[in-house]
Structure formats: structure tokens, C-alpha cells
Chains A and B, each alone.
Chain A
Amino acid sequence: MEEEISRRSFLKGGLATAAGLATAGIPGAEALADVEKEKQLATLLDIRKCIGCGACVDACSEANVDKYPNPQKPFPKMYPSRAKISDWSDKREVSERLTPYNWLFIQHATVDINGVETEITIPRRCMHCVNPPCVKLCPWGAAKQLTNGISRIDPDICLGGSKCNKVCPWDIPQRQTGVGLYLDILPNFAGNGVMFKCDRCYERVAAGELPACIDACPEDVQTIGPRDEIIQKAKTLAEEINGYIYGAAENGGTNTIYVSPVAFEDLNKAIQKGTGKPHLDRVADTMADANNLVAAMILAPVAGLAAAAGKLYHYTKKNG
């Protein structure tokens, strides 16, 4: 309780003098107080510490309850019939997967560690990629990336087309029908609601507070700080425990770095995967293929000029 009070007083006041006193055992608090606004913040999840108590899941729900959708019913009939309604409003209590009303859940894996069957629990939410395809490929700009590395979806602009879900390697954003801007445009023919996912408590972070899941964790599973420092911490920790890292290189790099004593290939086999239950597979940089074509784009004008110059040369030769 004493730690809780000092934590809050530090975070709310943002007093540098409180940092030394209050941050012992408070993951990442000092980083949030001092970090430059332009720096990407990453979180380190030491999954050895996670006991699967669900405090982070509850805190997430409590902190974000005002952001959850309140859809209008009945939903507009959508054409063609292939466009399916996605309604979680009567299943708000579901907490074993990602939904529009549950942006963080605990994944369970039973693995063998040195011959001992061990239960590992892993908090899963948006990875907040360094170059997030959900943001970069959103056709309307409804998904936004903040300079501190948070990617979030603006519920006032999102039309619920679910492209962000399709391009997300982990299928993180989840759709709720019957809410959002599409209702005011062509609800029967375009759009299908709003996509929801973890926004890493962007208002709290902007105010110098910790994201709710980090703040509430009794085991200090998560640490938040500038990405380069967090990566370094993750490497050091992985070396110390002879462990493994996930998220540092996935999809070109994310801002959610897991460190585990068990290989992620094994964890990936052991967890339940599926819709709303992201995998732990290795992920190549999904944005890289097209981005690599930029060299050809830079050379294209030169190629055009060269072709025309060739034509000019032949023309001049032919006509003396």
C-alpha cells in the first residue's frame, strides 16, 4: 500500500525528486517521467514473473471502460450478405481472448522446464510495432501512431473495415458492429463498425502515468522505458537466465518485448491459438517487401530519361 501511494504520488506529480525514493521496484516509472516525447517507449515483459492472476486484465478493463463501444441495435442490414455482423456487446465479460471489450488477456502454456511440467502465463495485447502495418496501411488514417510508439485506433474515424486486423501479423484489432462513423455514411454498403485494441493507455502515458496493466501488476512483470534501453535490458536479462526474446525483431521490431526461460517456438506450440488468440511465431517484416521497391522508384525517372535519350540519339543519327 505504501508503495502504491508513493507510486501514484510520483506519477501524478511527475516530480523528479520523488524518482529516487519512489521508483524502487516500480517498473519504468522513471523512464516515463524523464523520457523525451519523441522517443518510442517499449515494454519488457519478464514472463517468469507472471503468475496469471489477471490483475492486469482487470485493470485494463477498468481503465478503458469508457472507451468500450455501446452499439445501437438493431444493426443496419449489410449488403452483400458476406459482410457479417461482429457483436461482442452481449459478451463483454469474455476475458480469455481479445475482443472489442477485452484488450488484454492471459495466455497459458504448459511446458517442460528441466523435466518439470511448468505452467507459463503470458499477458497478450497489441505489440505496438515500430512500423505498424495497422497504422501505415489504414485506408483512412483512423489508426494512428504516436511519437512515443503507441499505435491506437481513433473510434471517431474508424469505419470498421477490419483491414488493420488482416494486415496485423497477430490479428490484434477486434471489431464491434453498430458503432462509429459508418452509421452516418452508407451503413448498409460500406464499413461495419469500429476496430478496438490496446492503446497502451495513451492518455495516462501522456500525463506521465503508467499504463494500467503495468501499474496494477503485483509482480512487476512489465517494465516500460525508451526502446533502446528496454532492448538492452531484455538482452541482459535473456543472457542472465539463458532465456529467449520475442518482439524485438518481429515484424521489423515491436515495442513489446517478451523474455522467457522457454524457447518461443515451444511456447507457441503450447498455447491455444486462433481468432483473438495471437500466436508466438517468428514474424518477418510485413512492410519490407514493398518498401524495398523504393530503390526502383528512385531509379525510375533515370530509366525514363535514359529511354528517351536513346530515342533522341537514334533520331539525331537518322536525321543527321
Chain B
Amino acid sequence: MSRLNRYHTEVIRENRMVRYVYLVNIFFLALTGFGQMPIYKRYYMSDIPGFGWLANFFTTRYVHYLGAVLLLTLIFYLLFDYFALQRKRIKVTSSGYLRGALLAGIVLTGILFVIKNFPIFIFSPEFIIALNLCHLGLVMAFLLVSLFCLIFRKKWTSAR
């Protein structure tokens, strides 16, 4: 194993806890995000013990916002970590760039959602419909790409 490969393995090991937190957070973000549609009660998901809260739209929204706070923290942590410490030794893979771009789109549309939910009038109804479809479409694409990467063991980064 080359020195850079060893370094890459070391970086992944170092950020292992961040990775677990990220994965759990993505799970809850997706769960509560889909919970914005009235599907969990209809499809008995909220009948599962411990998941009753999924039927409450205000709770799922609150948890989704909490997840967004954590996601933003993780993204900025990893960005700084990459640019300040790791960039010379590791590089972002093409699947990493794709996931990063999708995630950026999700975050951007999410921020617009947060703004929209205040009592202000910036966005037209047509724009809000487009925003809904974009956020959902980006999430679906992100989850599919992530699943693909999980199955075929594609990493976000590789050794330079």
C-alpha cells in the first residue's frame, strides 16, 4: 500500500465517527423529508411502535430542521477539513463530485424552503411548486446515487 493510500485510509478512519453521524442524519432527514407528504399514516408506518411521531407533521418538520442544522455543520466541517488538511493527499472522486453537487442542490433548495416558511412574500406560487419538485427530485437522485455508491463501494475521495 502506497504512502498516500495509507494516508487516505487514515483520513477515513479519523472521520469514521463523522461518517456514522452523517449516515444516521441522512436517514432521519430522508425519513422526515418524505414525512412531509401524508403517507406514513396511510401506509401504517406511524403505527410501528416508536414511530408514532411520523404522523405529526409539525414534529417531522422540526426534526427535519434539526437534521438540516446537523447536516450544515457536517458539510462545513468536512469542507474545511478537506481544504485545510487533506487536499494535497486526497482528491474527490467523480461520484463524490456528483453526490456533492446533488447535496449542494438539496441544501440550496432547503434554504429557500426555510425562507419561504417565514411570513414573507418573496416567492410566487409557481416558484414554490418548482421548489417542491426540485427538492424532492434532487433527494431522489441523491439517494439513488448514494445507493449505487454503497453497493459498488464507490468512495467520496481517493488517494491522489
Contact = CB atoms under 8 A, between A and B. Distances in A.
Interface of A: 38, 80, 82-83, 130-131, 136-137, 139-141, 144-145, 147, 154, 157, 161-163, 166-167, 190, 252-253, 286-287, 289-291, 293-294, 296-297, 300-305, 307-309, 311-312, 315
11 contacts: A82-B44, A137-B57, A139-B37, A140-B129, A290-B58, A300-B70, A304-B73, A304-B77, A305-B77, A309-B80, A312-B84
A141 B128 contact: yes
A263 to B, nearest CB: 27
Given A297-B68, A300-B70, A304-B72, A141 B38 contact: no
A141 B65 contact: no
A301 B71 CA distance: 9
B49 interface: no
Given A139-B36, A293-B66, A311 B85 contact: yes
B76 A301 contact: yes
Interface string B35-58: 011110111100000000000011
Nearest to A78: B42
A301 B74 CA distance: 8
Contacts of B132: 139-141
B114 interface: yes
Contacts of A296: 66, 69
Contacts of A293: 62, 65-66, 69
B69 A304 contact: no
Interface residues of B, number: 42
B88 interface: no
A136 B121 CA distance: 11
B118 A131 contact: yes
Given A304-B76, A308-B81, 4 more contacts: A140-B129, A161-B38, A300-B68, A304-B80
Nearest to B121: A147
B61 interface: yes
Given A293-B69, A304-B73, A167 B118 contact: no
Contact of B58 (A144, A167, A301, A315): A167
Contacts of A130: 119
Interface centre among A190, A304, A307 (most CB of B within 10 A): A304
Interface of B: 36-39, 41-44, 57-58, 61-62, 64-66, 68-81, 84-85, 114, 116-119, 121, 125, 128-129, 131-132
B75 to A, nearest CB: 7
A34 B78 CA distance: 54
Nearest to A140: B132
Nearest to B110: A297
Given A304-B74, A308-B81, A287 B117 contact: yes
B117 A290 contact: yes
Contacts of B69: 293, 296-297, 300
A290 B36 CA distance: 13
A148 B93 CA distance: 49
Given A166-B57, A293-B65, A309-B80, A80 B43 contact: yes
A286 to B, nearest CB: 6
B57 A80 contact: no
Given A304-B77, A311-B81, A315-B85, A290 B62 contact: yes
